[in-house]
Chain A
Amino acid sequence: MRPTFSDITIVIALELIGAILLRFFLLADDWRIVGGILLLFCAGFAVMQFRSDWESRIGDAFNRGTRLAVGLAILLVLLFPLALNGNTYALHLLIVSQLYAVLAIALNFQLGSANIPNFATGASYGIGAYVSALLAIHFNVNFWLALPAAAVAATAFGFLLGVPSMRTRESYLALVTIAFGVVIHQLLNNFDWTGGPNGLVGIPAPSLFGHSFASPIVIGGIKLPSQANFYYLSAVLVGIAIISAQRLHGSRIGLAWNALRADELAARCQGINVIWYKVLAFAVDAFLAAFAGTIYAFYISFISPDNFTFLVSVTIMTMVIVGGMDNIFGVIVGAFLLTMLPEKLRAFSDYRILFFGIVVILFLMIRPEGLFPQRLRRYGGSE
Chain B
Amino acid sequence: MAAELMQQGLNWLTLGCIYALIAVGFSLLFGVLKVIHFSHGDVSLVAPFVALAALQGWSASASGMSAIGLLVACAIAVVATGILGVVLDWLVIRRFRDAPAMMALVATVALGIALRESVGHIFPNGHNPQPFPRLIDANFNVTEGFNLPAFNVLVIGSSIAVVVLLFLLLQHTPLGVRIRAVSQDREAARLMAISPSSVFRATFFITSAIGGLGGLFYASYAGVTRFDFGIQAGLIGFSAAVVGGLGSMPGAIIGSLLIAGLDTIVQATLPDGASYRLVFAFLLVILVLVFRPAGLFGSVAVEKV
Contact = CB atoms under 8 A, between A and B. Distances in A.
Interface string B286-305: 10011001110000000101
Interface string B265-283: 0000000100110110011
A172 B294 contact: yes
Interface stretch (A126-134, A163-171, A230-238): A163-171
A178 interface: yes
A172 B289 contact: yes
Contacts of B285: 175-176, 179
A19 interface: no
A190 B275 contact: yes
A56 B285 CA distance: 46
A357 B282 contact: no
A344 B265 CA distance: 46
B194 interface: no
A354 B290 contact: no
A167 B111 contact: no
From A115, A117, A176, A265, residue with most partner B Cβ within 10 Å = A176
A276 interface: no
Given A167-B293, A171-B36, A265-B303, A364 B231 contact: no
Nearest to B95: A365
B113 A356 contact: yes
Given A117-B105, A164-B286, A368-B99, A175 B239 contact: yes
B242 interface: yes
B101 A364 contact: no
A363 to B, nearest CB: 9
Given A163-B290, A174-B105, A183-B283, A357 B278 contact: no
A167 B246 CA distance: 16
A314 B106 contact: yes
Contacts of A163: 290
A350 interface: yes
Nearest to A185: B278
Nearest to A167: B293
B190 interface: no
Main secondary structure, interface of B, reads: helix
Using C-beta atoms within 8 Å of the partner chain, give the interface range for chain B. 35 or more
Nearest to B35: A171
A354 B42 CA distance: 14
B124 to A, nearest CB: 13
B66 to A, nearest CB: 35
B238 interface: yes
B286 A179 contact: yes
A364 B289 CA distance: 30
A357 B276 contact: no
B289 A175 contact: yes
Contacts of B107: 360-361, 364-365
B282 A321 contact: no
A353 interface: yes
B58 interface: no
Given A171-B246, A175-B239, A186-B276, A368 B103 contact: yes
A245 interface: no
B118 A354 contact: yes
Contacts of A190: 272, 275-276, 279
A172 B247 CA distance: 12
A321 B103 contact: yes
B165 interface: no
Contact of B231 (A174, A179, A265, A310): A310
Contacts of B121: 350-351, 354
Contacts of A171: 30, 36, 101, 105, 242, 246
Contacts of B109: 314, 318
Interface residues of A, number: 42
Nearest to B275: A190
A8 interface: no
A181 B121 CA distance: 29
B96 interface: yes
A361 B110 contact: yes
Interface in B124-141: 127
B92 interface: yes
B102 interface: yes
Nearest to B238: A175
B76 interface: no
Contact of B102 (A174, A179, A180, A183): A174
Contacts of A358: 110, 114
Interface in A255-300: 265
A332 interface: no
A265 B305 CA distance: 9
A335 interface: no
Contacts of B289: 164, 167-168, 172, 175-176
B117 interface: yes
A43 interface: no
A317 B106 contact: yes
A187 interface: yes
Contacts of B36: 171, 174
A115 B105 CA distance: 13
25 contacts: A164-B290, A164-B293, A171-B105, A171-B242, A172-B246, A172-B295, A175-B238, A176-B290, A180-B282, A182-B235, A182-B282, A183-B279, A183-B283, A189-B275, A314-B109, A317-B102, A321-B106, A351-B121, A353-B113, A353-B117, A358-B110, A360-B106, A360-B113, A364-B107, A364-B110
Interface of A: 111, 115, 117, 163-164, 167-172, 174-176, 178-180, 182-183, 186-187, 189-190, 265, 310-311, 314, 317-318, 321, 350-351, 353-354, 356-358, 360-361, 364-365, 368
Q: Report the 10 A-B pairs with minimum CB-CB distance, sorted nearest first.
A: A357-B114, A357-B113, A354-B117, A179-B282, A167-B293, A360-B110, A168-B293, A179-B285, A175-B242, A186-B279
Interface of B: 30, 36, 92, 95-96, 99-103, 105-107, 109-115, 117-118, 121, 127, 231, 235, 238-239, 242, 246, 272, 275-276, 278-279, 282-283, 285-286, 289-290, 293-295, 303, 305
Given A163-B290, A364-B96, A365-B107, 15 more contacts: A164-B286, A164-B290, A168-B294, A172-B242, A176-B286, A178-B282, A179-B285, A182-B282, A183-B279, A186-B279, A353-B113, A354-B121, A357-B115, A357-B117, A365-B92
